A and B are shown apart, each in its own frame.
Chain A
Amino acid sequence: QKEVEQNSGPLSVPEGAIASLNCTYSDRGSQSFFWYRQYSGKSPELIMSIYSNGDKEDGRFTAQLNKASQYVSLLIRDSQPSDSATYLCAVNRGRASKIIFGSGTRLSIRP
C-alpha cells in the first residue's frame, strides 16, 4: 500500500462544475497536508495547506481534512479550463519534515 494514494485519473469535469479530488494516507502521525498543482512541463505550485480537521476555503478552492478517516480532499468550484492540470497531494510526517507526495490526479476541464 502506498503511503499517500490518489486516483491517477484522468478526471474529466465540465466547465463550471465542481471538481472533487481525493487523497488517502496511511501514517496516522501525519500532521500537515498540502495540495499542489502541476501544469504539464512545469514545476509544482502550492495551492492549499490544511493542518486541522474540517474545511479550509480559499477562493474557488476548498480543502477538507478528516484525520480519523485519514482522508484529505480538494474541491474546485466553478471549474475553469485553466484548472486542467495534475493535482498532487502531499503529507508531512509527524514532526519530521520528510514529505511524501501522492502520484497525482490528472484533471481535465471540458468546455
Chain B
Amino acid sequence: EAQVTQNPRYLITVTGKKLTVTCSQNMNHEYMSWYRQDPGLGLRQIYYSMNVEVTDKGDVPEGYKVSRKEKRNFPLILESPSPNQTSLYFCASGLGQGKGGSQFFGPGTRLTVL
C-alpha cells in the first residue's frame, strides 16, 4: 500500500529535550516536505527536499532541522523544543519539479511541548 508513515503519532515532551519525528514514504517520491498546522494559521511549510542531500527552508524553519540521507526518509529534528512548537505536524511526499504541490500526506504527529 502506497503510504507516508510518521512516528510517533503523539508526543508530549518538555522544553529543551531534543526529539526526532520520523517520516518514511514507499512511493519512490523525490519530493518530501514537513508542515505544521495551527488553528487560524493553516498549514505552513517548515522544510522541503527536492531529492537526496537537497533540502531547503520553507516559511517557518526556525527551531527545526531536517536531513535527507535516503530517498524514503525525511526526519524532522527539534534540537531544543519550546512551547511555541506545540502543533500538529504533517510529513508529505510528492512528484516535485513544479508538481510538488501534488502531495501525499502522512497521518500527522501531535506534539505538545510543556
Q: Are A32 and B98 in contact (CB under 8 A)?
A: yes
- Mark B78-104 against chain A: 1 for CB-CB distance below 8 A, else 0: 000000000000100000111111111
* Chain B residue contacts of A90, Cβ below 8 A: 43, 101
Task: Give the dominant DSSP class at A's interface.
Answer: strand
Taking the complex as formed, is A31 at the interface, i.e. its CB lies under 8 A from any CB of chain B?
A: yes
Q: How many contacts A-B (CB < 8 Å)?
A: 68
Cβ-neighbour of A101 out of B40, B44, B48 (below 8 A): B44
Q: Are B42 and A103 in contact (CB under 8 A)?
A: yes
Q: Are A97 and B48 in contact (CB under 8 A)?
A: yes
Q: Are A92 and B40 in contact (CB under 8 A)?
A: no
Query: How many interface residues does A have (CB within 8 Å)?
Result: 24
* Chain B residue contacts of A42, Cβ below 8 A: 107
Task: Please list 22 pairs of residues, one from A and one from B, whose beta carbons are closer than 8 Å in the complex, sorted by A's number.
Answer: A31-B98, A43-B90, A43-B105, A43-B106, A46-B103, A49-B99, A88-B42, A90-B43, A91-B101, A92-B98, A92-B99, A95-B98, A97-B48, A97-B97, A97-B100, A98-B48, A98-B58, A99-B100, A100-B45, A101-B44, A103-B40, A103-B42
